Structure 1
Amino acid sequence: MERPLDYLKKHAHHDWLIGHHSLQFHKIAEELYLELTHLSACETPPKIILAEREPIKFLASFIAACAAHCPVFLCNPDWGKQELQQVFDLVQPDIIWGLGTRDWGLGTGDWEEKTTPSHLSPTPPLPHSARAKRPATVNITQHSSLIMIPTGGSSGEIKFAIHTWETLMASVQGFTEYFQLKQVNSFCVLPLYHVSGLMQFMRSFTTGGQLVILPFKTLESGQILNIEQSKFFLSLVPTQLQRLLQNSELTEWLTQFQTVLLGGAPAWNELLEKARFHCIRLAPTYGMTETASQIATLKPDDFLKGQISSGQILPHAHVTICNQQGEILNSNQIGNIIIQAKSLAIGYYQTDKIQDYFQVDDLGFLDNQGYLNIVGRSSDKIITGGENIYPTEIESAILATKTVADICIIGIPDKHWGQALTAIYTPQNPNISTLEIQILLKDKLSKFKIPKHWISLQSLPRNSQGKINRQQLQQIATKFLNNLS
């Protein structure tokens, strides 16, 4: 397998970064690589925090770190002081790039106070029953070329999934084989520190394709680069697609793309129907940081024909559906999703090692054609009056009434029912009453599935990938209901 330095040399005179200076990227990457190899020659490769805001510097730094076999931690430059301090305490880096340290150069990083690197301490042995969920710690002293990608952080502590150049390349190869491509041209409006943005760069950089990097706000304002969209893949999260579809010119622009990948969070039926109505070549995907992006994708032709699923499994991955006892289920039976993939992360930094398989919190089924269908998250399941309820079904039904712009269903502790269904929503029309919505739902949902409590907000708290912050909604709902009592 070709290494980062091989690709860097191969594209040295290739103008592949549209709207940016490709030569600047190569110059920065080569200079940093030489400095890092000089440092690594004398001691253990330095741990690097990469929180650079400028995309060319970020990508050049990333490639230099990978080529020099330095552990690199990708970070959001917009994290607050508390989040950055948490990461700094966890990583104890030797080098910080970004965050205003020095003049964007090499040097020992200080954040609040000077610290020295520490190695991982071993975790105590675990009972056999717990090992599938919390096995042995990953020790980075056993590895050098590691890529730490952040996951979580919207409602809890930030974790880093540990990837390697090989796991990221497995994802690229699965993608190119699935779509039968030799080169991948990517139009990136997602953050590069996130797996969704990073993998767009990886696909283009390693296949000799072109890459456009544009802030989403710039795109939303109508500042569009002059490219041949029919040769490009664009990746969006549902909230971004929704906002672009509110502009007729940008909607027409979207229809010209070869493929518009959609992931990061579940998309609602109304949004998918609108994209289908405008003949946008949408490709809903399923994947996560731990799998280095998508492991299932619905191809655009299937989407336009009316298919509603996450598509078939990419060739580098394998998915099985199991019940709670670990028994493999047949087609069309709902159960826990188990993922095996060449792109699977090897673990989490300073915590868990991932085995050869990864059981996610999502519930779903594989149909007779091998298409993956997601029905909800096990942890989101609500039990009310002894009935198991999955929020996705109710949210889809409410969105179909076209009375709300956004919706999230949660369960609030209730002494009579165990949990009371609570709808937190943004209305399409501020004058619409909850009674009107409930009347529209009578023929769509069983009585016990219609929410007991309704809370209207101007907007729902979501992270940059469009995922709902359920912990914050629980707090909002609890406070709201306490004020009523």
Structure 2
Amino acid sequence: MFDLGRSFLASVERRPQATAIADGTLHKSYETWFRDIQSVALALEGFGLSKGDRLLVIMQNRWQMATLHWACQFAGIIVTPVNWRSTAQDLEFFITDTEARVVAYDESASEAVQNCSSVRSLVRITSGQIEDPDAHDFDSLLGTRGDTILRATAEDLSLMLYTSGTSGKPKGVPRLHRAERSAALAHVAQNLYRHDECTLGVMPLYHTMGVRSLLSMALVDGKFVCIPKFDPKETLDAIEREQVSNLYLVPTLYHMLIEHPDFDPGRVGSVDKLGYAGAPMSAGLIARVEAAFSPSLFVNHYGSSEIYTFTIDQNASHKPGSSGRASLNQRIRVVRTGTDTPDEQMPVCEEGEIIADMNGDEAFQGYWQRPDADQKALKQGWYFTSDTGYFDADGDLFVTGRVDDLIITGGENVSPVEIEDVLSLHPQVEEVVVVGLPDERWGNIVTAFVKPRSPIKEEELDRHCIERELTRFKRPRRYVFVDEIPKSPVGKILRRVLREQGPSTTNNQ
């Protein structure tokens, strides 16, 4: 099986003059971009990185980040992209966990990098106007020529993503070249992509959706249009300017696009295929998106960083709430919640935990240096997702929630425990529970139910989160002050009750 470097090289040989990437006014053909990618791969090796080493990347979706991603595929380096909104404390963890020796970053992460002591001993690559005299500017990596680098095989590691767990400690998800390529091929097939496709590269490249958009375009000689940071107006301009043919976004971004004053169906007339993942899309939003775009294909994807796609529904509007059926490379089951065996399958319409076959072509091999996480999630050849759901009478899967209460907001995974830990340190907070409440725009909105010792304002709690360096997207968007936190007779917090009651539990402080 091809590794990803050879996959890209095949596209270069098929259509060398086809446009491969666009970033504002910059456009590069496959042939031109390949030369840049090879030059960067040579530079990374010059910095001492070799096959199997990790390159930590903290960048927005710029052509430089996409170039680093592909350079690693040729050099056999494990590209490790992390959220550009990470704090210095987050970066300390990532550097320690990955044992990275080289870090690449842009202006979006400049402050966090400057405040991270561990970065100072690393080789640094910068992109943009950054004051780091000891760093190597990305442009200085370009222009070197040499023999074509093809270090990796299909069985080597391509990428490591990080996903949050209920403990709040991120987990590394290393993924093989063959798994990444299989996922990209399935993405092409399930979304009916052609060789002349053009996709919007707005989902971050530290996210499974961003990576699949990048790889799938290369497999069909398509164009990847970089959007560094989502802005509805700039995104609409890019769709119109580049004649984008497909979108693969979280529901939040669709909501923001169609609600923007500049949105007009005529401006997005080139878009023929839609896909979404990362969070459920409400029936109301599905109807509005379909009316706005009139797509020939509207695909709901359900998956994870570990497996990528569990199920798809290529007609998302026909049965709102349905996640469809198993994807090309997967088998799924719904088993009794709490079981350790894949054999205790639940009857039709009865809820349980969703599990996926680890023999699927897209599956990972296990977490990075986390045997505790492996023990929890990997059992008898199956991946236990911690998601709950059921099959309806037609055989379609409905996902109902999370076993471990992870919050998915705007396509990002947020651990409530991490937020609770931060808020609990405020002297006026007696008890706090964080849950996700349904929200059409964000999928779920991070909501903190607080039992205060004395009256306190939301602004004070938000300031406390900032001072504790809680990442912006993890900070609660809503605070609900309550007299008591609901608990079971044995003292277990009843998050379900808070979700059902929502903001109506507010007291009159």
Please give the range of the TM-score, normalised by the shorter of the 2 chains.
0.5 to 0.7
Per-residue deviation, 1:205: 0.9
Q: Secondary structure at the match of 2:168?
A: coil
Alpha carbons 1:46, 1:95 under 8 Å: kept = no
1:17-416 alignment, distance < 5 Å: 17-19=21-23, 20-23=26-29, 25-36=33-44, 45-53=52-60, 55-98=62-105, 111-112=118-119, 114=121, 145-152=157-164, 156-181=168-193, 183=195, 185-215=198-228, 217-221=230-234, 222-226=236-240, 232-247=245-260, 249-252=262-265, 253-254=267-268, 256-278=270-292, 280-281=294-295, 282-292=298-308, 294-299=309-314, 302-324=315-337, 325=339, 326=341, 327-340=344-357, 341-352=360-371, 353=374, 355=378, 356-380=381-405, 395=438
Alpha carbons 2:252, 2:443 under 8 Å: kept = no
Alpha carbons 1:48, 1:70 under 8 Å: kept = yes
Q: Cα deviation per residue 1:131-159 (whole Å; 9 max; x = unaligned)?
A: xxxxxxxxxxxx85341012228993332
Q: Report the AA paired with residue 246 of structure 1.
A: E
Alpha carbons 2:203, 2:249 under 8 Å: kept = yes
Identity over aligned pairs, percent: 16
Alpha carbons 1:50, 1:98 under 8 Å: kept = yes
Q: Cα deviation per residue 1:226-256 (whole Å; 9 max; x = unaligned)?
A: 4685x72201212211111213652514565
Per-residue deviation, 1:54: 5.9
The 1:64/1:228 distance shift into structure 2, 3 A limit, reads closer
The 1:7/1:406 distance shift into structure 2, 3 A limit, reads closer
Q: Secondary structure at the match of 2:157?
A: coil
Q: Report the AA paired with residue 193 of structure 1.
A: Y
The 1:217/1:357 distance shift into structure 2, 3 A limit, reads same
Q: TM-score, normalised by structure 1?
A: 0.66
Unaligned runs of 5+ in 2: 108-115, 124-154, 407-434, 452-461, 467-471, 485-504
Q: Report the AA paired with residue 376 of structure 1.
A: G
- In terms of mean alpha carbon deviation, does 86-95 or 8-17 score higher? 8-17
Alpha carbons 1:39, 1:45 under 8 Å: kept = no
The 1:412/1:145 distance shift into structure 2, 3 A limit, reads closer
Matched positions, count: 381
Per-residue deviation, 1:2: 2.0
Q: Secondary structure at the match of 1:163?
A: strand
Per-residue deviation, 1:359: 0.9
The 1:305/1:483 distance shift into structure 2, 3 A limit, reads closer
Q: Secondary structure at the match of 1:328?
A: coil
Q: Secondary structure at the match of 1:223?
A: helix
Per-residue deviation, 1:223: 2.1
The 1:145/1:218 distance shift into structure 2, 3 A limit, reads same
For 1:344 and 1:98, locate their aligned partners in 2 and report how far apart those are by CA, in whole Å: 29
Per-residue deviation, 1:110: 7.8
Unaligned runs of 5+ in 1: 101-108, 117-142, 382-390, 415-456, 462-466
For 2:442 and 2:210, locate their aligned partners in 1 and report how far apart those are by CA, in whole Å: 27
The 1:90/1:363 distance shift into structure 2, 3 A limit, reads same
Q: Report the AA paired with residue 62 of structure 2.
A: P
The 1:39/1:479 distance shift into structure 2, 3 A limit, reads farther
Alpha carbons 2:61, 2:226 under 8 Å: kept = no
Q: Report the AA paired with residue 343 of structure 1.
A: E
Alpha carbons 1:28, 1:57 under 8 Å: kept = no
For 2:473 and 2:400, locate their aligned partners in 1 and report how far apart those are by CA, in whole Å: 16
Per-residue deviation, 1:472: 4.3
Q: Secondary structure at the match of 1:338?
A: strand
Q: TM-score, normalised by structure 2?
A: 0.63
